[in-house]
Amino acid sequence: MAEKPSVAKDIANVIGANQRKDGYYEGNGYQVSWTYGHLCTLKEPKDYVDDWKYWNLRYLPMVPSRFGIKVIEQDSIQRQFKIVERLVQNATEIINCGDAGQEGEVIQRWVLLKAKCKAPIKRLWISSLTEEAIKEGFANLKEGDKFNNLYAAGSTRAIGDWLLGINATRLFTKKFGHQKQVLSIGRVQTPTLAMIVNRQLEIDNFKSEDYWELRTLYRETEFNSVLGKIKKEEKAKYALEKITEEEFEITSFEQKEGKEKPPRLFDLTALQVETNKKLGYSADETLKYIQSLYEKKLVTYPRVDTTYLPDDVYPKIPGILKNLKYYQELVAPLLEGKIRKSKQVFDNKKVTDHHAIIPTGVVPSGVSPEEKRVYDTVVKRFISVFYPDCKVSNTTVLGEVLKLEFKATGKQILSLGWREVYENDKKKSKDKEEKIMPVFEKGEKGPHEPRIDQKKTSPPKPYTEATLLRAMETAGKQVDDEEMRELMKDNGIGRPSTRANIIETLFRRRYITRNRKSIVATQTGIDLIKVIENETLKSPELTGDWERKLRLIEKGEFQPDQFKKELVDMVVGLTNEVLFSEKQHAITILDEEELKQKKKKKRSSTKKVEITELNCPKCESGTLIKGKKAYGCERFKEGCKFVVPFEFMGKKLTNKQLADLIQKGKTTKIKGFKVPGSEEKKDGKLQFTEDHNIELIE
């Protein structure tokens, strides 16, 4: 059982199941089917208690005594599930071929659970979809029970998100929402939004101050005064006046040779950071491109959180390098001798479920220009880690005038090493060549050209997608050191595979917006974080602690029931805290154009209602989307069947009439409805029935 039809086809070809059937392949004693990703999901509130379908504060918190799963209410999914269910019940053995990760395990296990699987289960665990990897995986199938902790962590994560997401979203929506706007709260999305809002408030409240820096030019080299930022102009001018006529003297000249190691291989977050900085791709776009490259057998499994390779991959490296046919100029020097094996690349102890993202050696074909750029990024990083270290000369020069010390530093590359891989990229980007610092002698003196530069203190920089991903990885802490980041990954918020979706959700909910490369909190996002008084809900550190516990569950070192209990206690406490809060604050979701108009205080006529800004009155959580003939709920794939047509009984409805129907449940009186089967016309109001069908009343 694979996750996607394309993967099922690859597996079927390898194991000889070559007969195409309805919803599966068959042959050589195997049947190979697929799940289209999620076929099953956790039950909705209404599936447990009928009253829970209503968004009402008196039903909160909703805590099922036992969580259940159901098949998603969509015809194509229901049909495929029935096929899988029949195959599972008639099989003598099940081979779970889902994506080899936490989410993949949960997707397949839920289907097997719902299909009442009684056959023994084996697990195909592979890091690429090449024919060689699939054959090797089938020759070394693992016992399904070995992955019980992985499943426990994934299902506990889903239950945790349900408990907090559904309860907190309804709680804050009903307490603080305006009209039918939904205030979306999530275990990961809310602390992520809090980081962005806090940074935004720091920027908005920042008061810039003037300062002065004292510099001097000696032998075409710029030296900076150790006084740093001088807060008073008089002090800067006084120092300048004193040193202008005096000679500059070199007190120290030191050159040290150093080495720069190659950068680490990519995990998913590092790749998303790199492509955002260098190519401008969003985290979500990069995930789509690298996932597509994986399914085309060009790279290994991408949803990983490690930058290391296991020792058993080392013998395969020369073969992969030889097959990188478009990169032979870079590969040739490596193949002339023994391939470098460093602890920075190969470390069994630091490999998790999978290893770092590397190319498979399959020759690319049928890739889009965007995929090609991402592939090139992965391949060059892979090649670079086997190159020698880059040798540099670091120079530090100290000088003084009237005992006032100045300093200049410089770096000169002596041997490119791994930087050779990126030389062509550097030439294309027209980088300025490094200026080589002259050699100075201790004790030498001479005239110089001092000056003072007036500057202003700068506010913190807004997050870009790259810096936000890094902040999520380190639970909001500023960490530049790669080793330290590696140690903090267990406490990061979200997982590499989910962070892109979390960011996209915040964009979709209009809590954040883009300003070129910067990510900016909207007024709605700021208002939402301000109204949440519970620090646990907003804290990246505490959410990071939950993530750490989920990883411990994965390792069998923490009990899922304990994690659920902690979340239930939090949800109950949060509910009581908000219900009895004195705070009264309505939050309205405005688009950016409305915000601009509001700021300029422009008076306008009655605001045009945008239907796609409204929430579905049936499921009360999806946003409406526009089709060719009707508006419908964005959650139609999850089973919400709400539809409101543009035209009813021959009468085209205005935007205002549609908005009244959706928001208030009925319209004012409308003239000119056509009675079916006659020429007669009828006037009346439209309203929704209990099932959200439209009826005409007089």
Instruction: Give residue-wise pLDDT tens across range 318-350.
Output: 999 999 989 999 999 999 989 999 999 999 888
Q: Please say if the pLDDT value at position 487 is more than 70.
A: no
The average pLDDT across 290-316 equals 93
Q: Please say if the pLDDT value at position 208 is more than 80.
A: yes
Indicate the average pLDDT of the chain: 89
8 A C-beta contact, residue 314 and residue 341: yes
Residue 219 identity = R
pLDDT interval class at 695 (50, 70, 90): confident
pLDDT interval class at 602 (50, 70, 90): very low
Cis before 61? omega within 30: yes
pLDDT interval class at 433 (50, 70, 90): low
pLDDT at 166: 95
Q: Please, what is the angle between helix 5-15 and helix 131-139, to 10°?
A: 70
Tell me the C-alpha to C-alpha distance, in Å, between residue 387 and each of 318, 345, 410. Answer: 13, 12, 24
The average pLDDT across 104-112 equals 95
8 A C-beta contact, residue 508 and residue 522: no
Of 4-18, 76-90, 229-243, 603-617, least confident by mean pLDDT is 603-617
pLDDT interval class at 45 (50, 70, 90): very high
Beta bridge partners of 225: 406
Q: Please say if the pLDDT value at position 533 is more than 90.
A: no
User: Which residues make Cβ contacts (< 8 Å) with residue 285, sequence separation at least 6?
Assistant: 275, 370
- Residue 456 dihedral angles phi and psi, to the nearest 5°: -125, 145
CATH of range 174-203+464-579; options 3.90.420.10, 3.40.50.300, 1.10.3720.10, 1.10.460.10: 1.10.460.10
Query: Looking at domain 210-261+390-456, what is its CATH homologous superfamily?
Result: Topoisomerase I, domain 3 (2.70.20.10)
Q: Please say if the pLDDT value at position 655 is more than 90.
A: no
pTM: 0.78
**CA distance linking residue 510 with residue 523, whole number of Å:** 9
Domain boundaries, the chain: 5-140, 174-203+464-579, 210-261+390-456, 268-384, 611-697
pLDDT at 244: 92
pLDDT at 91: 96
Nearest residue to 263 (alpha-carbon basis) of 424, 354, 387: 387
Domain 5-140, CATH class in plain words: alpha beta
**CA distance linking residue 16 with residue 247, whole number of Å:** 85
pLDDT at 177: 82
Q: In percent, how much of the chain has pLDDT > 90?
A: 66
Q: Kindly write down the DSSP assignment for every residue of 301-347, as one continuous string.
A: --------B-GGGGGGHHHHHHT-GGGHHHHHHHHTSPPP--TTTB-
* Range among 102-111, 429-438, 611-620 rated most confident: 102-111
Residue 297 backbone zone (phi > 0: left; psi -120 to 50: alpha; other: beta): left
Of 117-121, 460-464, 542-546, least confident by mean pLDDT is 542-546
pLDDT at 584: 53
Tell me the C-alpha to C-alpha distance, in Å, between residue 283 and each of 104, 268, 340, 511. Answer: 20, 9, 32, 17
Of 373-377, 525-529, 533-537, least confident by mean pLDDT is 533-537
pLDDT at 592: 47
Q: Kindly write down the DSSP assignment for every residue of 206-262, as one continuous string.
A: ----EEEEEEEEETTEEEEETT-SBS-HHHHHHHHHHHTTSPEEEEEEEEEEEEEPP
Task: Specify whether domain 268-384 bears CATH 1.10.3720.10.
Answer: no
678 vs 14: which has the higher pLDDT: 14
Cα distance from N-terminal residue to C-terminal residue, the chain: 56
Three-state SS at 543: helix
Q: Which residues are catalytic?
A: 301
154 vs 675: which has the higher pLDDT: 154
Q: Please say if the pLDDT value at position 606 is more than 60.
A: no
Burial of 22: CB neighbours in 10 Å, binned 0-12, 13-18, 19+? exposed
**CA distance linking residue 405 with residue 522, whole number of Å:** 47
8 A C-beta contact, residue 329 and residue 321: no
pLDDT interval class at 581 (50, 70, 90): low
The average pLDDT across 287-310 equals 94
- Tell me the residue ranges of DSSP E strands in 535-666: 624-626, 630-633, 643-645, 647-648, 651-652
**CA distance linking residue 240 with residue 252, whole number of Å:** 22
pLDDT at 291: 94
The average pLDDT across 301-330 equals 93
The average pLDDT across 563-590 equals 77
15 vs 434: which has the higher pLDDT: 15
Q: Please say if the pLDDT value at position 212 is more than 80.
A: yes
Three-state SS at 376: helix
pLDDT interval class at 564 (50, 70, 90): very high
